[in-house]
Amino acid sequence: MCRFELAGPKFARPRSLALSSEAIPEVRLNITTELADLNQSISLTKGENLIRFRVPEGCEKPCDIPQLNSSDCRCLSVAAQNPIIMP
């Protein structure tokens, strides 16, 4: 069993971050604040592991939110900062 940690700010509204791999079923972490410290225990196999990140709620473009008055049309959801996997 390993520990997965990251800091994850969300964009515009609360979202969830889904983690999965061949060794673990999908786990969802709720991101409800501007900068959430997330910790999750995950099982990994010896050798190479591929961890998938997915935001089920999708993304939003700042340019589509009138009150932001933004020309930024990137599709944003969450940012994964400082990811750490440790035993």
Domains identified in the chain, total number: 1
2 pLDDT band, cuts 50/70/90, is: low
Indicate if the alpha-carbon torsion angle 43, 45, 51, 55 is positive or negative: negative
* 35-48: pLDDT as tens digits: 767 787 877 888 88
Render 26-66 in DSSP notation, one character per residue: -EEEEE-SSSEEEEEEE---SS----EEE-TT--B-GGG-G
The predicted model scores a pTM of 0.74
Half-sphere exposure in the Cβ direction for 45 (13 Å, CA): 10
Domain that holds residue 44: 2-86
